[in-house]
Amino acid sequence: HTHARRPTVGLGRDEDLYLQQAAVFIEDAIQYRSINHRVDANSLRLYRWYYSRIWQWGLGLTIAVVLTLAFIERPSSFSYTSDPRFRPPPWEPPCGLTEGIEIVCLVIFAIDLATKSYLIGWEEFRQCKWLIVYILAVSAFEWNVALSLCCRRQNLRVRRLIRPFFLLQNSSLMKKTLKCIKRTLPEIASVILLLALHLCLFTMIGMLLFAKGEVRSQNGEWEAYFRDLPTSLSSLLVLLTTANNPDVMIPAYSLNRGYSIFFILFSGFGTYFLMNLLTAIVYNQFRGYLLMSVQASILRRRLGVRAAFEVMSCQGRGQDATHSEEHVERVRVDASLQVMARVQMKSYYRQAIIKVRKDYGSSLSFLLQHPPKPEYNSSLLQRLQLIFSHYYVTVVGNAMALTNVMCICTILVLDSEKSIAERDDYYMEVINCFFILYYLMEMSLKILAFGWRGYLSYRNNIFDGLLTVCLLVLQITIFATYRLPFPKWLVSSLRSYFSLNKYILYQEIVLKDGAHLYIQ
């Protein structure tokens, strides 16, 4: 709409169109709407009518009516009391009443869809997935209403599943929430995996602690909650959700108060660390998406204001024949006042648009610098440094830890029905020794690759190293006390060691990734 010189006859009509366009663009900026729509005179009148309070309130009322129909449709349990002894028979609507209301609502939805599709144009319509789904929803809704007009009892009411979409499609906040949930699912999946490993590992520890004993009176915890793997998992899952706490621990606590340490560690780490970590990730993702949404809204507002300025500046150039196209763009004061009079806005919005704002900001970013890697002259050491400083070493370590879990889980499942005297933990001790040596080798090679300072500059390495040293000290203590492992080892005297060892192994497997995720 840049016309440098126009005839005097058509000047009034063009000026009115310019003012109307500028008023609509400013309204788009106020409501954070897109400016990609038709801008001819008839379309602008239709556009302002579509976003008027009358139509928007009417559309909202139509959505509310459609959602409320579920309370009176057959079968309905809507009554003043929920007690079946005093509840009267539900009111049965006459044939065609709810269907007629749905037809009226369907006509309003069809008008809304047709108007919105016309205003944005075909090019914009093809890129809008919500409107395409809107067409499918209206079509499916119409088809279901047509089938229900015969007043026959329907076992499956598909149109009830479609009704919430109309509320979703007309709510920008719900659309943003769905997009945020879609972005958050991968991050939540990692924490859910940590929760699953937490449950599995403590289940194995619980099956070791509360094994079937020779004295029947002391097997209360085993019989009620740790008889087999599915029962143990479900018991600890209930305990993690705090839905049945402290019932799960009562038989064991009655036998020996020391068993409460196991439940305290399980609930403390699961409830107060992993659950809070899950909440923190969801909050962080929603906060990040909210920031992006605010930035997009501000960009739309600036585009609307800029489009209004361009339209009014073009109108100013057409009015002044003494200035050429290359002259500095400007807006006449009387034109801006006329636009402000046409725009539907609150009084403080009028004052805010008149004022000129200066956006400024500064941001500082700090980059964590790790110490340089040591330099080796030997080609063998250089190759080892290149290999064990790679990220895939951590992936392999996690895979080995998962293998350790699978081995222990397999042995526990095989020995779940055996008493303590019947068990042979020789193979389990061999597995423990093998994986402890692997963790020690992994730590040593990482120190070789990064150096002491470089290794300690990563917090997850500090955590892994401390746990590895603890495992090694405990294993050496066991060897010094009970010698090397052999078949038919007296595991009854090593019960406390197994519990602590498996718990620290759990820390090595799960917490090193959990702590790294929490630090990030």
DSSP per-residue letters across 25-77: HHHHHHTT----S--SHHHHHHHHHHTSHHHHHHHHHHHHHHHHGGGTSSS--
Residue 365 pLDDT more than 50?
no
Confidence band for 337, pLDDT divided at 50, 70 and 90: confident
Report whether 162 contacts 137 (CB < 8 A): yes
227 & 158 share domain: no
197 & 259 share domain: yes
160 & 261 share domain: no
Judged by DSSP in three states, 212 sits in strand
Residue 326 pLDDT more than 80?
no
pLDDT of residue 46: 92
User: 0.75 exceeded by the pTM?
Assistant: no
The mean per-residue pLDDT over the stretch 117-140 comes to 82
111 & 161 share domain: yes
Is residue 313 one of the residues assigned to a domain? no
pLDDT of residue 518: 33
Is residue 175 one of the residues assigned to a domain? no
Rounded Cα gap, residues 12 and 417, in angstroms: 94
Cα angle 18, 19, 20; round to 5: 90
Share of the chain above pLDDT 90, in %: 3
Greater pLDDT, 512 or 180: 180
464 & 483 share domain: yes
Report whether 1 contacts 311 (CB < 8 A): yes
Question: Domain boundary residue among 237, 271, 295?
Answer: 295
Could you identify the residue written with the tokens 């009554």? Answer: 79
Q: How many domains does the chain have?
A: 3
- Domain ranges, residue 501: 379-515
Is residue 443 one of the residues assigned to a domain? yes
Is residue 464 one of the residues assigned to a domain? yes
Rounded Cα gap, residues 502 and 505, in angstroms: 5
Is residue 364 one of the residues assigned to a domain? no
CATH number of residue 216's parent domain: 1.10.287.70
Q: How many CA atoms lie within 13 A of 362 on its CB side?
A: 1
148 & 191 share domain: no
Q: pLDDT tens digit string along 180-217?
A: 777 778 778 878 888 888 888 888 888 888 887 777 77
245 & 195 share domain: yes
| Mean pLDDT of all residues belonging to the chain | 75
160 & 234 share domain: no
131 & 231 share domain: no
389 & 287 share domain: no
pLDDT of residue 464: 81
Measured from the Cβ of residue 87, the count of other Cβ atoms closer than 10 Å reads 12
Q: pLDDT tens digit string along 368-425?
A: 467 788 888 888 888 888 888 888 888 888 888 888 888 888 887 887 777 777 777 7
pLDDT of residue 57: 92
Is residue 414 one of the residues assigned to a domain? yes
Greater pLDDT, 52 or 358: 52
Torsion (CA) 351, 352, 354, 359 in degrees, nearest 10: 160
pLDDT of residue 503: 45
Closest CA to 210 of 221, 199, 198: 221
The mean per-residue pLDDT over the stretch 131-152 comes to 73
203 & 134 share domain: no
